[in-house]
Structure 1
Amino acid sequence: MITQETLELLEWKRLCQHLATFADTKLGAIAASNLQLPTTKEGSLQLLAQTQEIYNLEQQLDSGWTFKGIKNINQALERASIGGLLSAKELLDVATTLAGVRYLRRTIDAKAEELPTLNQLILDLRTYPEIEQEIHHCIDDRGEITDRANPKLAGIRSKIKSLRSKIRQILQRIMQKNMGAVQEAVITQRSERFVLPVKAPQKESIPGIVHDVSSTGSTLYIEPRSVIEFGNQLRQAEKQEKREEEAILRALTAKIAEVLEDIEKLLAVATILDLATARARYGAWLEANPPRFTDPEETVTLRRLQHPLLVWQAKYEEGNAVVPIDVKIEPQTIVVAITGPNTGGKTVTLKTIGLAALMAKAGMFVPAKVPVEIPWFDSVLADIGDEQSLQQSLSTFSGHIRRISRIIEAIKPQSIAENVANNSLVLLDEVGAGTDPAEGSALAIAILKYLAEHTLLTVATTHYGELKALKYQDERFENASVEFDDSTLQPTYRLLWGIPGRSNALTIAQRLGLDTAIVEDAQSLVGATKTQDVNEVIAALEAQRREQEAKAAEAAKLLAETEKFYSEVSQKADSLKEREQQLKVSQEEAVKKALLDAKSQIAQVIHNLQRGEQSAQKAQKATEALDKIAGRHLKTTQQPQPAKPDYKPQLGEKIRIPRLGQTGEVLEIDEAEKQLIVRFGFMKMSVGWGEIESLDGQKVPAPAKNQAKQTRKTPPAARKQPSVTVRTSQNTLDIRGSRVANAEIEVDNAIAKAIESGVLWIIHGKGTGKLREGVHEFLQRHSQVAKYELAPQKEGGAGVTLVYLK
């Protein structure tokens, strides 16, 4: 059959053997070695989907996609189907196979949405965990039946153990009593009976049954009479043990037979999954890509296509590096004629294209760069190599014609029945060769024209120059050639499209040293001028192609350099942005550090102010110290905000003092002097309107020029002395828990002491409010009290009264 012949010519069997090495199980390896090609496009698409999904799955799984435990149990299942008995080892293999497939099913179930094809495959799969558990209950990991399998079996084995022990004890005593008669102090077995090696001359010393004699006759293996009965009992017990073990195995085998169809289906699914895994791993090893099946009106694209067998040879057999080819066939092209010198790679090109078509059809990835676009062919048919046979009286020409006849017969039925081209790929090597050149070229043209009418694609190699002209007569034909290096007289194995190959025979002969006269005579015989003109045209086309390729390579290089330059500029821009951000952060950190230093110095001033007795003079000095700190640390930390018209601070409003970096509350406002009494924390101070701003950055407008002049003319004595309210232990009185009468005495004494500071803080607590009311009545009539009020909420609220002294 020509299809099978083609597979042999393309070495498909060898590729399948390579594929089998990537399988995890023996089942998968057998399936891969005998790979069957789908008969429909839908079948190929399903296989490709399986391959792609397993490829993606293996990329995602950390633990790996494994077929551990799955065995080839086909023979065991076949024997179980006809009532045969499975051994303990075979039953154990069934159990591990069930467990292995269950793991695969769970793995697929966990990613069901991402694996629709695989999920459909395992949808109705049953793995019978109860049978697996029962097998493991009865059979251990060594494939031996356990005592727990059957209570009766356990009793029999206990009896066997006891009998063996008793027999050994008796034999040991006999040996000790008759050491001179024993050839060797050892207990052995003959014919499954325990015996002693006794010297032949002294056999009467140990009477019994002789079961064996040594080769020299000097040693007799005797079972003493005293252990014969125990030996008989042991044999009976061992037979009982075998019967019980067989009963256990038969019961387990029967359970396997009951679900035989499900297990066979399970085994088939495991084989399909392993075969898909082998395809995915082989594709990854080849650095191949999934193909897309094109329609007839689409271009065939196979960029950097490699021969998979040559890739294997290069990696594992120290072969030469593989030279990839580029295949791009336009939709209108039906026949491609490849020309070029011998050993230039024409035949390898045919095989590479054929294997690519077969691999895609079999659901495998194709060793080419993305995109991989190739038609789905009903069949791939080839005439490659020499079918010359002396036994069948076949010449080279005859062999080629007989094979081409079989190819035409294979494509003829469908084309006649449906009157359409057969969806086949035909590969012809040296079409029309082996006969008279004139007749051979005419026959080759006729064959190719016939195939142009009846195939989806035909690729043929030839030496006939007449075939090169078909492109210019029929758009269905295209030329291609294998490149030849004139300087080295060696083929480059590159495939060039659109340009026919040159006739290099005479040129090569001359450069290899053939007599010039002979070469010139040959040129005259073939029509030197005409041939030379054609060769010069082809050479010019080749030179033009090389020039275009050089320009394209230069353009690609410039593009790469441009992209590199753009990348460097982008990186520098990102680096500048990052440095700007870092600088901004460092400046902010410096400002924060300055603020922290200032706050630390302010805290020190307040601490010094709180030490010893307090006075207004000390408070004034503290204010001056704070002004110096502000001038030293905070002038550059705040940017001046533009004044907003009509802004005036209000009593109780929260405002910001930029030079101190503090937020305070407005207690008093002197509009005439443009002064404020502000509290921040437990400290009060007088500040000018120009020193504050609102929380949203508004500042009090500067006074008019005439008003500023009038303000400067105001004598210092007329200005109100700023008061600073600082709460210390000297001006704070705690009367919580006191009676009103006693509290009045303590308040009066505290007022006398706090006259210099001008303020007194009285802590009376909230409670029922009676103590506060009594203190307020006393303060209202006290001559030294200017006013009093409840302290702010932060300072105690209703539990503290702030007293201002005259």
Structure 2
Amino acid sequence: MNPPVVFPPTAVDSVDGWDRQAFLETLELLEWHLVCEHLASFASTRMGIEAARTAPLPSSLAITLRRQAETAEIAVLDELIEGGLSFRGIQDLKPVLSRCSKGGVAAGEELLTVAETLAASRRLRYQIDDRELRPVCSALVEAMVTLPGLEQRLKFSLEEGGRVADRASASLAALRQRRHVLRQERRDKLQALLNSCASFLQDSVIAERQSRPVLAVKAGAVGQVPGQVHDSSASGNTVFIEPRSVLSIGNQLVDLEARINEEEQRVLGKLSALIAADELVLKTLVDSLLTLDLALARGRYGRWLGGTCPRLEDTPDAPFQLNNLRHPLLVWQQKRSGGPAVVPISVDVSSWLRVVTITGPNTGGKSVSLKSVGLAALMARAGMFLPCSGQPSLPWCAQVLADIGDEQSLQQSLSTFGGHVKRISRILEALQSGPAPALVLLDEVGAGTDPSEGTALATALLKALADRARLTIATTHFNELKALKYNDTRFENASVAFNAETLSPTYELLWGIPGRSNALAVATCLGLDPMVLEQARALLAPTPESEVNSVIQGLEEQRQRQQTAAEDAAALLARTELLHEELLLCWHKQKQQTALYEEQGRQRLEHAIREGQKEVRSLIRRLRDDSADGETARQVGQRLRKIEGYYRPNREKSTSRSVWRPKVGDRIRLLALGKAAEVLSMSDNGLQLTVRCGVMRTTVDIGLVESLDGRKPEPFPPPVVKVKARPQAAGGAQVRTTHNTLDVRGMRVHEAEASVEERLRNANGPIWVIHGIGTGRLKRGLRTWLGTVPYVERVVDARNEDGGPGCSVIWVY
């Protein structure tokens, strides 16, 4: 008779109406309990640690999506808060609630944990509650009632350590005061007896026996100290006596202790009744706190793994896209135990694929690939982040079933093949009665029996699974299974890479190409006797299988050549992008230099105009002088003609020289590159030119070219630009400079007002006042005062590049 199967508590509740044994076997084979243990190490509370180890998997996609949202929201908040979210002070209140709801009396320490949990919950609710940023977690904490009245009552009635405070009961305070007086009285009497009976005592210390104070009296002087004997020494030389003078006080203290304990129990019972009255509220609070703790544990574990939140599809036929997936247990081993670097795998299964067969040598990583995909599906279902890059995407798998490893059992008289068959039978039953979609993982399908029969059985099994499961991933060494892809579009091949030069696996997963077993190469790497290997090679006669291996080898070499070509193309693309960035950098520099030259020319022109105006005004003053005569007028006229001849011809010459319109076929110079180009076409408005420079063909603005003799282009037709200027600001600068900027940071409001008012008197345009952000008091004070100044038109925040909200721009009439 077979022994009954013992089901562990983890995830059993999520299985309903189908074969639980197949599901639990899968969890054990994939080592899901270790993932749960690692997750539990990131929990903050004791109840969170226990729940992370035993919590069931979600039974629907909606629950999983809610867990994902909780994880993402609280993980972001945990990163933003310095030191992270803290669950310090939060305890599991369910044992206390259970005792109180049944009429029991909780201890003072247990009642204090209720008060501490309520205080910590209120702090967490304040940190988490934000409907816009964290809608899911905010809805969760809104259901938390923190009962501040109960918390204050508990803290008022209990002291640190759970001791009932004197203020909790007037009777208790009076009894404790009476006990203190009696203890002091007894201590004084005993001290007096120590002094008066020192010669009869073995020791001058007040001892204690059976919770009563005693004196160590010599055996021969027992009659000298009347009282009650409580004990004697092992040698019989010392007798411990409670003096008669303090016996009555001791009896009174015993009675007081009983009354005090009774009063403390009454107070604790009253507090326990208050907790029992709010049992449902407190249970909801504990459940919400546990949910938040688990969400935070998932977020911290995912961040530690370097994970990404997966996109779960409701469509059963949704594809599997997992880029650079790493086995979470191997990542843990690498980071915690200094293990080897984890080689990631990529899984890209289209919506029409149903079966993927992975082939390749032993020790090449086939089983690790199976377990990685299986754990990824379970972690995604649990609302956890996946150790992938990019955005992983996969369907929500209602079932994950696996047959990995050897189920040989001597007690059950099962061979290796028999163990596989029984496990696969349970998987088929689960697929028949369980929900969809399902992910099935089979390791060494058809192994353990005659190769021909095993191949036939594996072929039939994979075809059956293609009809029943969303995706089946199977590892095999049978060459016939590699050919299923070419007869059924639902099948695909994959292989683990093997380096023939180093005779070692690379643990990479390759798609579309079947792999070779490389048994002799692996045996060589593992140190098998060379003579045995030589004989094996001699016995390995050419067979159809070897011809298939030759084809596979050719495909691998072709894939290697394609990969090399792709790497070369990627390098060329990188160099092209680098060249493009250099060209853009040169263009920006040229544009900046052009703007600089234009600014310098404008400044020179303004200077020349000012000098000309100054000289003309001087000539006019000479003509208006009373002493001016005809000779003076003649000289002034000659000077005016010289000034006109100096400016007007140059301007006309410059104008005539600079006016130039490019035409199709003209040779022009690109300013950004400094190279000549040919105009191929022009836009309708004449603002865009299509040019060819060498082999490069591009479109540039007309302002970025010039003629070969240095003439600047004029757009055709010339655009008409209408400019509306502010008359009141015509005399002042419209941009921020050091002359129209005032810094009042650090001043009081009245000091800032005086400084701004002095600057406004001489203002010839807008004034920029830097007041900073800080508390906003200085800004508000200045804005209020400026609202009363009659010659201030408006006050606005500066642009972001000029200071933003920390700087105000004052416009005057």
Scaled by the length of structure 1, what TM-score is found? 0.71
Q: For residues 688 and 222 of structure 1, what CA distance do their matches in structure 2 show?
A: 136
Task: Tell me how far 1:533 sits from its aligned partner.
Answer: 2.2
Distance 1:563 1:398, change over 3 A: same
Task: Tell me how far 1:690 sits from its aligned partner.
Answer: 11
Q: For residues 691 and 195 of structure 1, what CA distance do their matches in structure 2 show?
A: 130
2:239 is matched with 220
Distance 1:675 1:189, change over 3 A: farther
2:745 is matched with none
Partner SS, residue 297 of structure 2: helix
1:59 is matched with 79
Which of 426, 429, 449 is equivalent to 2:443? 429
Contact 1:200 1:218 in 2 (8 A): yes
C-alpha distance after superposition, 1:557-583 (max 9, x if no partner): 344444455556656766787899999
Q: For residues 424 and 352 of structure 1, what CA distance do their matches in structure 2 show?
A: 16
Partner SS, residue 216 of structure 1: coil
Task: Tell me how far 1:278 sits from its aligned partner.
Answer: 0.3
Distance 1:312 1:676, change over 3 A: farther
Partner SS, residue 152 of structure 2: helix
Task: Tell me how far 1:342 sits from its aligned partner.
Answer: 1.1
Listed as ranges, the matches of 1:11-410 within 5 Å are 11-62=31-82, 64-109=84-129, 111-294=130-313, 295-410=315-430
Distance 1:200 1:406, change over 3 A: same
Distance 1:199 1:328, change over 3 A: same
Q: For residues 704 and 35 of structure 1, what CA distance do their matches in structure 2 show?
A: 91
Listed as ranges, the matches of 1:720-739 within 5 Å are none
Partner SS, residue 82 of structure 2: coil
Task: Tell me how far 1:265 sits from its aligned partner.
Answer: 1.0
Partner SS, residue 242 of structure 2: strand
Return the letter of the residue paired with 2:492. Answer: E
Return the letter of the residue paired with 2:486. Answer: Y
Task: Tell me how far 1:299 sits from its aligned partner.
Answer: 3.0
Q: For residues 85 and 491 of structure 1, what CA distance do their matches in structure 2 show?
A: 65
Distance 1:669 1:538, change over 3 A: closer
Question: Please, which moves more after superposition, 65-74 or 502-511?
Answer: 502-511
Return the letter of the residue paired with 1:673. Answer: L
Scaled by the length of structure 2, what TM-score is found? 0.71
Residue 449 in 1 paired to residue 463 in 2? yes
1:673 is matched with 623
Task: Tell me how far 1:318 sits from its aligned partner.
Answer: 2.6
Task: Tell me how far 1:279 sits from its aligned partner.
Answer: 0.3
Return the letter of the residue paired with 2:456. Answer: A
Q: For residues 49 and 65 of structure 2, what CA distance do their matches in structure 1 show?
A: 22
Q: For residues 691 and 91 of structure 1, what CA distance do their matches in structure 2 show?
A: 105
1:775 is matched with none
C-alpha distance after superposition, 1:120-176 (max 9, x if no partner): 222222110111111111112232222221222112111111111111110111010
Return the letter of the residue paired with 1:442. Answer: A
Task: Tell me how far 1:88 sits from its aligned partner.
Answer: 0.5
1:535 is matched with 549
Task: Tell me how far 1:254 sits from its aligned partner.
Answer: 0.4
Return the letter of the residue paired with 1:374. Answer: L
Percent of residue pairs bearing the same amino acid type: 45
Task: Tell me how far 1:412 sits from its aligned partner.
Answer: 0.8
Q: For residues 238 and 540 of structure 2, what CA distance do their matches in structure 1 show?
A: 98
Which of 490, 494, 509 is equivalent to 1:476? 490
Return the letter of the residue paired with 1:518. Answer: Q
Partner SS, residue 95 of structure 1: helix
Q: For residues 308 and 704 of structure 1, what CA distance do their matches in structure 2 show?
A: 81
Distance 1:204 1:485, change over 3 A: same
Q: For residues 621 and 524 of structure 2, what CA distance do their matches in structure 1 show?
A: 116
Contact 1:658 1:691 in 2 (8 A): no
Return the letter of the residue paired with 2:198. Answer: M
Contact 1:55 1:277 in 2 (8 A): yes
C-alpha distance after superposition, 1:185-226 (max 9, x if no partner): 112222222221222221222110112222332222211111
Distance 1:638 1:94, change over 3 A: same
Distance 1:290 1:517, change over 3 A: closer
Q: For residues 243 and 80 of structure 1, what CA distance do their matches in structure 2 show?
A: 18
Task: Tell me how far 1:181 sits from its aligned partner.
Answer: 1.3
Return the letter of the residue paired with 2:512. Answer: G
C-alpha distance after superposition, 1:354-411 (max 9, x if no partner): 0000000000001111120111111100011100011111111000000000000011
Residue 640 in 1 paired to residue 659 in 2? no
Q: For residues 418 and 543 of structure 2, what CA distance do their matches in structure 1 show?
A: 34
C-alpha distance after superposition, 1:445-499 (max 9, x if no partner): 0000000001100000111111000000000000001111111221111111111
Partner SS, residue 132 of structure 2: helix
Q: For residues 638 and 267 of structure 2, what CA distance do their matches in structure 1 show?
A: 104
1:608 is matched with none
Q: For residues 270 and 601 of structure 2, what CA distance do their matches in structure 1 show?
A: 85
2:718 is matched with none
Distance 1:175 1:5, change over 3 A: same
Return the letter of the residue paired with 1:519. Answer: A
Q: For residues 596 and 190 of structure 2, what CA distance do their matches in structure 1 show?
A: 94
Return the letter of the residue paired with 1:103. Answer: R
Return the letter of the residue paired with 2:70. Answer: Q
Partner SS, residue 343 of structure 1: coil
Contact 1:19 1:279 in 2 (8 A): yes
Task: Tell me how far 1:73 sits from its aligned partner.
Answer: 2.2
Distance 1:19 1:507, change over 3 A: closer
Q: For residues 704 and 475 of structure 1, what CA distance do their matches in structure 2 show?
A: 84
1:781 is matched with none
2:760 is matched with none
Q: For residues 180 and 229 of structure 1, what CA distance do their matches in structure 2 show?
A: 25
Question: Please, which moves more after superposition, 164-173 or 555-564?
Answer: 555-564
Task: Tell me how far 1:107 sits from its aligned partner.
Answer: 1.5
Distance 1:586 1:270, change over 3 A: farther
Task: Tell me how far 1:531 sits from its aligned partner.
Answer: 2.7
Contact 1:676 1:688 in 2 (8 A): no
C-alpha distance after superposition, 1:4-44 (max 9, x if no partner): 11000100001100000000111111110113101111111
Q: For residues 406 and 311 of structure 1, what CA distance do their matches in structure 2 show?
A: 31
Distance 1:196 1:508, change over 3 A: closer
Return the letter of the residue paired with 1:96. Answer: E
Q: For residues 455 and 550 of structure 1, what CA distance do their matches in structure 2 show?
A: 37
Task: Tell me how far 1:507 sits from its aligned partner.
Answer: 5.5
Return the letter of the residue paired with 2:509. Answer: L
Listed as ranges, the matches of 1:530-609 within 5 Å are 530-564=544-578, 566-567=580-581
2:505 is matched with 491
Q: For residues 428 and 703 of structure 1, what CA distance do their matches in structure 2 show?
A: 93
Superposed CA RMSD:
3.2
Question: Please, which moves more after superposition, 241-250 or 60-69?
Answer: 60-69
Distance 1:585 1:154, change over 3 A: farther
Unaligned residue ranges in structure 1 (runs of 5+): 416-421, 592-635, 642-655, 678-686, 693-698, 706-806
C-alpha distance after superposition, 1:519-538 (max 9, x if no partner): 355323xxx14233211211
Question: Please, which moves more after superposition, 475-484 or 117-126?
Answer: 117-126
